[in-house]
Amino acid sequence: MNLRDGQMRIGILGATGYSGIVLYSLLRQHPQVTQIKLYGHQGNNESAALFNERVPAFKTENYPIEAFSANQVMQETDCLFCATPAGVTSQLIEPFIKNNFPVIDLSGDFRLKDPTSYEKWYHRPAAKQEQLTHAEYGLAEFHHSISGHYIANPGCYATATLLGLAPLLLEHLIDLQSIIVDAKSGVSGSGKKLSASSHFTFINENISLYKLNAHQHIPEIMQQLKLWDPAVKPIQFSTTLIPVTRGLMATIYVKLRSGVTRRQVTAAFQAQYQNSPFVRWRNQQLPDLKAVVGSNFCDIGYGYNPAANVLTVVSVIDNLVKGAAGQAVQNFNLMWGFPEETGLPQFPVFP
């Protein structure tokens, strides 16, 4: 996509959710972004609100949240980010697709190419098939050549899991029937909407599994794995809520193919990510959440049990940055030809 003199006018649809708030803070500090317009998707009443009223932590940001109008957005901005719940963009975005207007969508509405699969896993109507064909799945480390105008930003669990598995599948190092993923995420991963499991009295000093074998990121993961190796079999995937605000850890268990060595595993990860500024290969040093929270990094390490022939890969990200808003900005940079790291934090929040 052609660079617009390095000066970008950005629209954000849904800036008051957790991912939208982080997205706003990143774009507000992006050196190529000169203007940000905020839009609501819940009717004209939202136009009366100011951003700092909805997000008191951003007290000085007294910008209006305007009612959404596709024509207005396309006139006022150069690129639209959608940080909305599932089911919103599929109903609003058709004019942008028809006009080849640049969109980066953080929701799940355009990640799956099969509408039937979307309806099965998301339990709501899918976008039209002809619209889905215009969307590109934006796993940034594998999507440097952006040819279209609509980027479907990956989910957080999918990002950590796919980055942890990619070198193993691409180099055909593992038994494709052996993949087990035990993923854990902080409370912000479920968004701002209140639920019984988000109450302090529930999550404090507690961990709980949820959506066992039913999480909506599973078909997204399988869709990409099959592109890397069509012979891959269904994976076992569990998700666990842990008592932290931010951070996600995917612990991946696989069996190595006969004759595969640890040296080959190391070589595969090093070769795959040597030019990826946001993937840090830790080799046999297992990463932890504190190493990445607040950053756009994905840290990956591994351990090997020769007695069981099981390789354990640990992949950690900040679910709101690399798992959502940070990767969206990374895709924005790739889309418009900016250096990949532009506007993205280079250090985690530590300690």
Q: What is the pLDDT of residues 255-276, one digit of tens each?
A: 999 999 999 999 999 999 999 9
Looking at the structure, give the CATH architecture of the domain made up of residues 8-154+323-336: 3-Layer(aba) Sandwich (3.40)
Q: CA Rg, the chain, in Å?
A: 20
> Which among 79, 82, 156, 298 is annotated as catalytic?
156
Instruction: Name the strand (E) or helix (H) holding 21.
Output: helix 18-28
Using H for helix, E for strand and C for coil, what is the string for 277-307?
CCEEEEECCCCCHHHCCCCCCEEEEEEEECC
| Cα–Cα distance for residue pair 67/41, rounded to 1 Å | 7
CB-based contact 14:82 (threshold 8 Å): yes
Query: What's phi and psi for 321, nearest 5 deg?
Result: -105, -85
Which structure tokens are listed for 260?
A: 């595969």
What is the topology classification, in CATH, of domain 157-319? Dihydrodipicolinate Reductase; domain 2 (3.30.360)
Q: Domain spans of the chain?
A: 8-154+323-336, 157-319
Alpha carbon 309 to its chain's center? 31
What average pLDDT does the structure give for the chain? Answer: 94
Q: What is the side-by-side order of every strand in the sheet holding 248-255?
A: 208-210, 236-241, 180-185, 248-255, 310-317, 298-305, 279-283
Does 82 participate in catalysis according to the annotation? Answer: no
Q: Tokens at residue 109, please? A: 């509405």
Number of H helices, E strands in the chain: 12, 14
pLDDT tens per residue, range 213-270 = 999 999 999 999 999 999 999 999 999 999 999 999 999 999 999 999 999 999 999 9
Q: Does residue 3 carry a pLDDT above 80?
A: no
